[in-house]
Amino acid sequence: MIILGIESSCDETAAAIVKNGLEILSNVVSSQIAVHSPFGGVVPELASRKHVEAILVVIDRALKDALLQIDDIDAIAVTRGPGLIGSLLVGLSAAKALSYSLNKPIIDVNHLEGHIHAAFICEGKYPKGPSVCLVVSGGHSALYYLKSVENRPEFLGGTLDDAAGEAFDKVAKLLKLGYPGGVIIDKLSEKGNPQAIDFPRAFLGKESLDFSFSGLKTAVVNFVKKYGGPEQIESFPVKIEDIAASFQEAVVDVLVQKTRLAAKRHKAKNVIVVGGVAANRRLRERFVEAATFEGWQLFIPPIHLCTDNAAMIAAAGYFVWKRKGFCRNTLELDALSRWL
């Protein structure tokens, strides 16, 4: 089964071709970082316009890289949601146009389920038995229970305010470090002391599987204000690297702790960590340690498959198709801004 994946839920326009849910034949991502950088975050209208410019180019490139013609494709898997509506509509419309004109079936894919499948593609294997999945990206921080890879992930808990990646991006903006913040804070933290500042960790009660990062963000704002604001950062008594590392440690502590709780509660022996924030060096380190201690089988995608891409959508599409077949009423398929 050769599937063309299309992804346009946020600020990456992507197309990929994946065989039988595991073998990547091509994976093309056109990033909009340069477009959104001056604003310190994604500007939805600009994102939609850039998707329109790039969508056919990336699909064409994905076919060429895979040495295939469009007729060789068995189906089109496309991100239906969650995401920015204007952005989603570009990928969805391209998928519908290809489907209608070439008579190819569509598989509608949940973006978060796509992220989860990124963890299996390169491993070439799937978890045996139940798993707990942590999805941490710019738009989401959520825990899911996955009975088996054939099943739909069940939502266990999510963020009440900022997503983990959003917190990284907002703190970086506040510290005037640039965009996207996650990568920059990760890099700075390498030279910082994670214990330098004791930023708060919001556990929301011992039993909660929800997240909240806005209090942590406010704590960083207050800390910076106390010493005269971001303009005075050079004369702060602590190094910027220490602020970055201490903030990062607070985020990672909560993510590891909540995943531990979810794995215990659901007797999961597999833990899957995915999404843009799963590219974080410290998060990866801490999950490797936790997996050794708890005896988990750990699945984390390689860094280039953590952030948005279409290979993960094609890979997940293969399982969505096995579970519920192709999409009916293709032309009526609507985009969903929220979809747990």
Comparing CB distances to ligand KG4, the nearer of 129 and 302 is 302
Comparing CB distances to ligand KG4, the nearer of 18 and 171 is 171
Q: Smallest distance, Å, CB 186 to ligand KG4? A: 4
Neighbours of 45 (CB within 10 A): 10
Q: Residue 21 in contact with residue 315, Cβ under 8 Å?
A: yes
C-alpha neighbours within 13 Å on the C-beta side of residue 235: 7
Q: Smallest distance, Å, CB 254 to ligand KG4? A: 14
Applying CB under 5 A, the span of 72-80, 99-107, 133-141, 226-234 interacting with Zn ion comes to: 133-141
b/e 276-286 (16+ beta carbons within 10 angstroms → b): bbbbbebbbeb
Q: Counting contacts by CB under 6 A, is residue 7 touching ligand KG4? A: no
Q: How many helices (H) and strands (E) does the chain have?
A: 10, 10
Q: Counting contacts by CB under 6 A, is residue 249 touching ligand KG4? A: no
Q: Smallest distance, Å, CB 167 to ligand KG4? A: 8
- Joined together, the tokens standing for residue 302 give 């390689």
Applying CB under 5 A, the span of 11-19, 63-71, 137-145, 203-211 interacting with Zn ion comes to: 137-145
State the Cα–Cα distance between residues 229 and 241, nearest whole angstrom: 16
Which H helix or E strand runs over 17? strand 12-19
Q: Counting contacts by CB under 6 A, is residue 308 touching ligand KG4? A: yes
Counting every residue written for the chain, the total comes to 340
Applying CB under 6 A, the span of 69-77, 223-231, 270-278, 324-332 interacting with ligand KG4 comes to: 270-278
b/e 292-324 (16+ beta carbons within 10 angstroms → b): eeeebbbbbbeeebbbbbbbbbbbbbbbbbeee
State the Cα–Cα distance between residues 146 and 252, nearest whole angstrom: 22
Q: Counting contacts by CB under 6 A, is residue 194 touching ligand KG4? A: no
Q: Which of 202, 224, 245, 279 binds ligand KG4 (CB under 6 A)?
A: 279
H-helix segments, 199-239: 214-226
Q: Counting contacts by CB under 6 A, is residue 275 touching ligand KG4? A: yes
Cross-strand bridge partners of residue 145: 132, 154
Q: Residue 107 in contact with residue 326, Cβ under 8 Å?
A: yes
Applying CB under 5 A, the span of 53-61, 130-138, 202-210, 234-242 interacting with Zn ion comes to: 130-138
Contact partner, 183, from Zn ion, ligand KG4, none, Cβ < 5-8 Å per class: ligand KG4
Place of tokens 């499948």: 117
Q: Counting contacts by CB under 5 A, is residue 137 touching Zn ion? A: yes
Q: Counting contacts by CB under 6 A, is residue 247 touching ligand KG4? A: no
Q: Counting contacts by CB under 5 A, is residue 13 touching Zn ion? A: no
Q: Counting contacts by CB under 6 A, is residue 30 touching ligand KG4? A: no
Q: Counting contacts by CB under 5 A, is residue 8 touching Zn ion? A: no
Comparing CB distances to ligand KG4, the nearer of 72 and 289 is 289
Contacts with Zn ion in 279-308 (CB under 5 A)? Answer: 308
Q: Counting contacts by CB under 5 A, is residue 141 touching Zn ion? A: no
Q: Smallest distance, Å, CB 166 to ligand KG4? A: 6
Q: Residue 73 in contact with residue 15, Cβ under 8 Å?
A: no
User: Under the rule (CB under 5 A), what is the footprint of Zn ion?
Assistant: 137, 308
User: Under the rule (CB under 6 A), what is the footprint of ligand KG4?
Assistant: 10, 137-139, 165-166, 168-169, 180-183, 186, 275-277, 279-280, 307-308
